[in-house]
Structure 1
Amino acid sequence: MIRALFAALILCAAPAAAEPLARQLFGAHATPSRQAPAAIGSYAKGCGAGLVALPETGPTWQAMRLSRNRNWGQPELVQFLQDLSGVARQIGWKGLYIGDMSQPRGGPMTGGHASHQIGLDADIWMLPPDRLNLSRKQRENISSVSVRTNDQTRVTRNWTRQHHALLKAAASDRRVDRIFVAAAVKIAMCNAATRADKAWLQKIRPLYGHNTHFHVRLKCPAGSSGCIPQTPTVAELSKNGSGCDETLNWWVTTYLEELRNPPKRAKRKGPVPRNAKTYLLSDLPSQCKNVLASR
């Protein structure tokens, strides 16, 4: 209630020339909107109506970093995470540690993450749980583990067959659009898979910053007409594309070299494009105003 009142005061007090940042408005809400569930906009530019909370603790999962209040998502995401945590139990883990999902009303976050805005993204820790009865304080202090080397080309001993099995199960789920991992993980999974069993690997995408968790992104739910789906990749459009050849060649030879020796960028002309940190409410889909206004 206090956060919602704060958001309302921001809107009322700020003149048009000083429109508040969208991340401030959405970050001020501690509860979801009282609306039917709907994913609105794109994964990195939108909001979520009627989001529901993943229970903080379940038989096969625990939500981490509870102080962030980011264990919210579309009902489809919450169900998927509960299902996948059951799969984790089947492969030999005690369950899953779930990191950031979305804020109660989605939208740009107060800190970190360009996406996670419409309730269809979730970070899952690479750390196999030792126990599922961690206190709130313990969940703030415990950290996940990195599964890649510092040069970003190889997995460490923290990477196991169970990790491979878990990611394969997630990627094979029809609800999943794609999964972001460290490039070393994609390379290791490509090398371990057989030629006849690689099609599911097209959903596994290398992305910098995913060495301690993997990021699952679900497809737009049925009925969410305002949800903007991802653009298919070349691998998706090909009959049996896995992305393995492209990943192995491009990541090792091109991207890592650019990280080590960044190319000089030409001076940008015109205004700097806005992003999740600088979006205003007017930059988001118009329905997001109703999401914020709902009580």
Structure 2
Amino acid sequence: MILFISMFLLGAYMAIAQASPWESVKEPFAGQEQSIGSYANGCLSGGEALPLKGEGYQVIRPSRNRYYGHPDMITYLTKLGAKTKAFGLDDLLIADIAMPRGGNFSSGHASHQTGLDADIWLSFAPDTLTKKAVENQTAISMVDLKNYKLRRDNWLDDHAVLFQVAASEPEVARIFVHPVIKETLCSMEWEDRSWLQKVRPWWGHHYHMHVRLSCPEGSASCVNQKAPPQGDGCGAELVSWRPKPEDSNKKTASVTKKKKVKIKPAQCTTVLTQ
């Protein structure tokens, strides 16, 4: 019994020790609106909460308290919801944006730290969700991961509309999606293909799209990601993401990489503690 209690207390202590201090802050920092640092190592000053329901969208899992963003992101999401609704789409499901003051998570995200990243699930809500349903949505994958192909039973024409509308806004820097979804969009006929440049393949994004905005004006300490390559990204670059046949004779040496310690911009200390 004593051993069990000791192990329980040790586990609780480790959970606390591993928690990020940014997760304990419940309100935005009341300073000038700024995204500070890089997407994966920064913080947020003057952030705003996205209203939990608006025209053309609903926020899911609000108990996580991750529906804060730079005012530019809040404007973008409300504008996107209104535009997609005008195209006849059901409500968008907005998932994680950032915590009230941005910063790093103890798990789940490396980015989403400056209020300029937002996850939008690739499922829609035809009706207003109940309080229980808002917290317990089930993700719907668009990709047969085992066979590396699109799940045609889940993919809708509405998804293509969503991607085009979302990526066509000038403030968008990138939209991350699974490579199979990018291939699907590339295979379609478009009068204007320029927006496809912003749709970038990345593993894991098979049930949601990850929208990233460029650094806003007035955020002097914000670090933009390098611009994506020229072109629509539908050629050899995209082909390179396809799984390669395993070579049974090839031996891969295991390499242990040291985890780099990231030092946040000095302004983040003020944002976190005051």
TM range (shorter): 0.7 to 0.9
Q: Is the 8 Å Cα contact of residues 40 and 48 (structure 1) preserved in structure 2?
A: yes
Note if 1:249 corresponds to 2:229.
no
Q: Kindly, what percent of the aligned residue pairs are identical?
A: 37
Q: Is the 8 Å Cα contact of residues 91 and 166 (structure 1) preserved in structure 2?
A: no
Note if 1:174 corresponds to 2:170.
yes
Q: Which of 180, 184, 191 pairs up with 1:184?
A: 180
Shift of 1:152: 2.6
Amino acid at match of 2:241: W
SS at match of 1:221: coil
RMSD across aligned positions (CA): 2.1
Flag structure 2 segments of 5+ consecutive residues without an equivalent: 1-16
Q: Number of matched residues?
A: 256
Distance 1:264 1:201, change over 3 A: same
Note if 1:70 corresponds to 2:60.
no
How does 1:22-33 map onto structure 2 within 5 Å?
24-33=20-29
Offset from partner CA, 1:237-287 (integer Å, 9 cap, x none): xxxx000003442112xxx23899897244347x4324xxxx5xxx11111
Q: Which of 114, 118, 127 pairs up with 1:118?
A: 114
Distance 1:109 1:218, change over 3 A: same
Report what 1:8 is aligned to: none
Offset from partner CA, 1:170-212 (integer Å, 9 cap, x none): 1110010000011111000000034x53221010011111111
SS at match of 2:209: strand
Distance 1:258 1:62, change over 3 A: farther
SS at match of 1:46: strand
TM-score in terms of structure 2 length: 0.87
CA distance in 2, matches of 1:92, 1:86: 10
CA distance in 1, matches of 2:238, 2:273: 47
Q: Is the 8 Å Cα contact of residues 40 and 287 (structure 1) preserved in structure 2?
A: yes
Report what 2:224 is aligned to: 229
Q: Is the 8 Å Cα contact of residues 178 and 203 (structure 1) preserved in structure 2?
A: yes
Report what 1:12 is aligned to: none
Amino acid at match of 1:273: K
CA distance in 2, matches of 1:206, 1:200: 14
Distance 1:78 1:161, change over 3 A: same
TM-score in terms of structure 1 length: 0.81
SS at match of 1:251: coil
Q: Is the 8 Å Cα contact of residues 155 and 188 (structure 1) preserved in structure 2?
A: no
CA distance in 1, matches of 2:183, 2:153: 15
Distance 1:290 1:180, change over 3 A: same
Q: Is the 8 Å Cα contact of residues 62 and 98 (structure 1) preserved in structure 2?
A: yes
Note if 1:49 corresponds to 2:45.
yes
Report what 2:3 is aligned to: none
CA distance in 2, matches of 1:138, 1:203: 32
Distance 1:259 1:87, change over 3 A: farther
CA distance in 2, matches of 1:51, 1:121: 13
Flag structure 1 segments of 5+ consecutive residues without an equivalent: 1-19, 236-240
Offset from partner CA, 1:33-80 (integer Å, 9 cap, x none): 111110000001101111100011123211111110000000000010
Which has the larger helix fraction?
A: 1
Which has the larger strand fraction?
A: 2
